[in-house]
Structure 1
Amino acid sequence: MTLAAILGEFAAGVAPPRTVCEDVPRRVLDVLGNALAAYAEPDAGAAAAALAAMQRWRGVPESTVIGYGARLPAPSAALVNGVLAHSLDYDDTHLPSVLHPSASVVPAALAVAEVGAPGDLIAAIAAGIEVTNRLGMAGCDPSTGANLFFERGQHATSICGTIGAAVAVSRLYGLSSRQIADAIGIAASMGAGVLEANRTGGTIKRAHCGWAAHSGIVAATLAAEGLTGPPTVLEGRFGFFTAHTGAFDAGAITGGLGERWELLRTVYKPYPANHFTHPGIDCALALRRDGLRPSDVESIELGVAEPVLRTIAEPPEEKTHPRSGYHAKFSGPYTIAIALTGGGGLGVGLDDFAELGPARLALAAKVRVHADAEATKAFPRAFAAVLRVRTRDGRTLEHRVAGSRGGPENPLGEGEVAAKFAANAARALPAEAVSLLETAALRLGHGGPVSDLFPA
């Protein structure tokens, strides 16, 4: 059997175990909270642009745009909701693939479910996220841990997420395993996303998950109407992995499929910033708890995994002087400065990226980032870091973390995920609506209707 056929059989017939069925509603909750917080942001230009573009095209009002309340054709609503879900870089992350599966899969599935697609929503989302994660894992070099998508500047989140979204929608449509394989073959021609915005700015990266959600619906719908994809679309000579990574690990796709769920290794973010910055934030927060004050700092050295330098440390002048609050989310130096100065207590929150502060820019300029051997060895199965601070009175302070807070070995608890959702949703909704929305999302796991999400 080809890989697409194997994934098609899995998606068509899978009945997720109880642990997965209990987890999926929390994925929906996290996406909704992130999207609502993005809607409420003063810098919501990417989502507003996506909404305006979709409204320009008009069409049948089928599915709800989160926050705005507008109704659009399902692919258009999924596009805007995917932009919202990914806009704050607060969406869940799978390791070792280092991608964000839910921000593409959930918006696509919700948009189609709202129209009345008859399939099992929980099973559809679970299958879509699992396929997304496994495609991302297959693009990791097992000998070095390098993510071959990222090595080529490609965004695995949107490239793999397009196929995952197509799988989820296909399951909702009730397509056969052969048709789902065709949807995979079609979606493989639609996934895209380059990562240069991580380095030098621009808002296009916020749209990557929206495009993946939109394209996934289109691919599944075309398959339902009879369009076909190449059977060897993933492993073929001119297939998906040849195009995107050059090499791949087929066992990462098929090994334990349906038995070992990579979905359960998808972790929730505690901080609204690029995940590569999180271990450095953890280190800075630890030193701050021990009494370090910004005025004490002479210089700072941040040691991280070598592959992440290109995202959070290079070019150095861009990272010590980010162009915007969004750009600052991808800066190791600036997120260290935030962790040492703000965060609403001893954390890092959305308000810390609302604007660039001169005091933080001055502190970020004191940070130098380098490759650390231990962190490099742990990557990509864990995000590790070491922070060394030279103080004005000549002391050297150091803190190391082997894995970031919220990572696979230290995941956020259910209460923390719920608290994150409530804080995010409260930026856009009154308390009563936040509570109603949480209840409606969690009831999805017990057959609750998708329509209950949207009155809130």
Structure 2
Amino acid sequence: MSTDTVTSHATQRLAEMVVGLRADAMPEQTEDLMTKCVLDWVGVTAGGASLAESASELLAALADDEGHGDTAVVGQRDRYTEQGGAFLNGTFAHSLELDDTYLPGRLHPGAPCIAAGLAAGQTLRATGPDFLTALLAGYEVSCRLSAALGPGMFSRGLHPTGVAGTFGATATVGKMWGLSVDQLVSAFGLAGSMASGSTQYLHSGSWNKRMHAGLAARNGIFATTLARAGVIGATEALEGEHGVLHAFSDHSESGPLTADLGTRWQTLTVGIKPYPGCRLTHGSIDASLEMRKRLHGAVPADSEFTVRLNPDDATIVAGTAQNKFQPRNTVEGQFSVYFQIAAALLHGRPDWTVYELLGDPDVEDLARRIRAVPDADIPEAGAVLSVQGSGPAGDPIRVAVPTGDPATDLPWQVIETKFRSLAGNVFDEPALDRIVAVVRTLPTGGGTVEDLAFAIRPEAAAGTQEEKSA
């Protein structure tokens, strides 16, 4: 139950914000960030489609959709239906745990919003500026909602991306279709009956979490389609007596939904992830890489480590369960701070190949020598790492802001390097160059959504312009 006085008409005000956004009035900073997020999204989606162990099964499950629509899926030659394509793109984007994050809400906004926007944008032949404007709308709605829901979502066993991401995808698609305020309020009401995402995946390493972003993208399209057809959704979907704030969190605060709405963009606090693990482990990974330098790459056999974490972070990535110290699969490794620290200390390679170390006896031995301590003075995703033993100790290594946070520098070259490292598993160099060129021209209208859709199909990318409608 919410602990504050619920902001009245919050759903209505968010709908008004979305409808009122204009491409020609989009703040320059948000336009730049959205452009970077699109390129990052293509990279992580290509990586998920080519590297994640769940990719082939997901493609098989959507086989009936293949070749029966106009929606491009990153790395696939054939096109899919809108909802099927959005599901696959959203799921692939979230599969490596490398997609962008909004830390205050522990949310991955880009995976569902961009997947849904790409699908709708192809149907509508949307321009680049209209696409980016719709993405800003979706990011802002999902970020504000996830912040309002707070960590209390996890107490209810719910994943923010599955819930807030559904509303973000609905806002993105609703904006692209030009829904009225009343229609969008209705679409939000319908989305409220679709939003979900159980965190039971934490106990078995299942693939559910990856699908939360894909389901959010698909359901955002479905909710909007229903509202466009005149289907009436619930009012006050967020703030109502049985709305999302009350139903989906043990401790929600409605203020973030509308505070400084339209003047202060929560989207600008979205970060781009450098490591393929839960964002809440990234401060620990940064500290471990620095500690590795201090130890000259050699961890003494008698050394023990203590990592101090934000208490809410510790409940998700630490603990005493066996699968935290001995993760059995990629998902468990992504949510184990012990595994991430041990792997970084021993091998110093926090990329996707780190999961080749699952079951490594040296990594598991070191993981058992790491103690996690909750500390309310540590910021979210931050860490303080110290070592005890015969090696050089020194002062504890403190990381308040992890790499990739919006407070750190995010130059285009860093984003492009990450994109090429992941998308290079699917595309050759000319195709990579083409994708970069299309994305960079989205703000000016030189690149369109259909241009992007054409470029992300590997075989078609080398073809002719006339193949775009194939």
- In the superposition, the TM-score normalised over structure 2's length comes to 0.89
- List gaps (5 residues or longer) in structure 1: 141-146
Matched-pair contact (CA < 8 Å) for 1:390–1:396: no
- Residue 125 of structure 1: CA displacement? 0.6
- Runs (4+) of structure 1 exceeding 4 A deviation are 393-397
CA distance in 2, matches of 1:7, 1:116: 23
- Residue 393 of structure 1: CA displacement? 5.3
CA distance in 2, matches of 1:79, 1:354: 28
1:44 aligns with 2:53: yes
* Cα offsets for 1:414-452 (capped at 9, x unmatched): 321221111111122111211111111222222111222
Q: Give % identity.
A: 32
* Cα offsets for 1:244-278 (capped at 9, x unmatched): 01553232111111111111100111111101111
* Cα offsets for 1:347-393 (capped at 9, x unmatched): x1111123423322222222121112421xx33xxx22111112345
Match among 347, 350, 353 for residue 352 of structure 2:
350
Q: Which amino acid aligns with 1:354?
A: E
Written as runs of structure 1 = structure 2, the 5 A alignment for 1:10-49 is 10-15=17-22, 16-41=26-51, 43-45=52-54, 47-49=55-57
Count of aligned pairs? 440
CA distance in 2, matches of 1:189, 1:117: 29
CA distance in 2, matches of 1:295, 1:393: 8
Match among 133, 140, 149 for residue 143 of structure 2:
133
- List gaps (5 residues or longer) in structure 2: 1-7, 456-460, 462-470
Written as runs of structure 1 = structure 2, the 5 A alignment for 1:435-446 is 435-446=433-444
Written as runs of structure 1 = structure 2, the 5 A alignment for 1:36-435 is 36-41=46-51, 43-45=52-54, 47-56=55-64, 60-116=68-124, 118=126, 120-140=130-150, 147-297=151-301, 298-344=303-349, 348-356=350-358, 357-375=360-378, 378-379=379-380, 383-392=381-390, 395=393, 398-435=396-433
- Residue 300 of structure 1: CA displacement? 1.4
Matched-pair contact (CA < 8 Å) for 1:343–1:349: no
CA distance in 2, matches of 1:108, 1:117: 14
CA distance in 1, matches of 2:266, 2:329: 34
Higher mean Cα deviation, 423-432 or 214-223? 423-432
CA distance in 2, matches of 1:238, 1:115: 35
CA distance in 1, matches of 2:376, 2:316: 18
- Residue 151 of structure 1: CA displacement? 2.2
2:105 partner SS:
coil
Q: Which amino acid aligns with 1:86?
A: H
Higher mean Cα deviation, 160-169 or 48-57? 48-57
* Cα offsets for 1:137-163 (capped at 9, x unmatched): 1113xxxxxx11122221011100001
Please tell me the root mean square deviation across aligned C-alpha atoms, in Å: 1.9
CA distance in 2, matches of 1:26, 1:118: 19
CA distance in 2, matches of 1:370, 1:50: 38
Tell me: CA distance 1:245–1:213, structure 2 relative to 1, closer, same or farther (3 Å).
same
Residue of structure 2 in register with 1:144 after alignment: none
1:228 partner SS:
coil
2:363 partner SS:
helix
Higher mean Cα deviation, 251-260 or 351-360? 351-360
Matched-pair contact (CA < 8 Å) for 2:111–2:213: yes
Matched-pair contact (CA < 8 Å) for 2:156–2:250: no
CA distance in 2, matches of 1:243, 1:49: 33
- Residue 118 of structure 1: CA displacement? 4.8
1:9 aligns with 2:16: yes
CA distance in 2, matches of 1:151, 1:208: 18
1:451 aligns with 2:459: no
Higher mean Cα deviation, 207-216 or 415-424? 415-424
Higher mean Cα deviation, 396-405 or 6-15? 396-405
Higher mean Cα deviation, 355-364 or 156-165? 355-364
1:427 partner SS:
coil
1:389 partner SS:
strand
2:377 partner SS:
helix
1:445 partner SS:
coil
CA distance in 1, matches of 2:50, 2:356: 12
Q: Which amino acid aligns with 1:14?
A: L
CA distance in 2, matches of 1:296, 1:355: 19
- Residue 78 of structure 1: CA displacement? 0.3
- Residue 395 of structure 1: CA displacement? 4.8
Residue of structure 1 in register with 2:4 after alignment: none
Residue of structure 1 in register with 2:467 after alignment: none
Q: Which amino acid aligns with 1:424?
A: L
Q: Which amino acid aligns with 2:313?
A: V
CA distance in 2, matches of 1:118, 1:325: 37
CA distance in 2, matches of 1:393, 1:287: 11
Tell me: CA distance 1:452–1:117, structure 2 relative to 1, closer, same or farther (3 Å).
closer
2:443 partner SS:
helix
- Residue 195 of structure 1: CA displacement? 1.4
CA distance in 2, matches of 1:327, 1:419: 27
Q: Which amino acid aligns with 1:87?
A: S
Higher mean Cα deviation, 209-218 or 226-235? 226-235
CA distance in 1, matches of 2:320, 2:65: 39
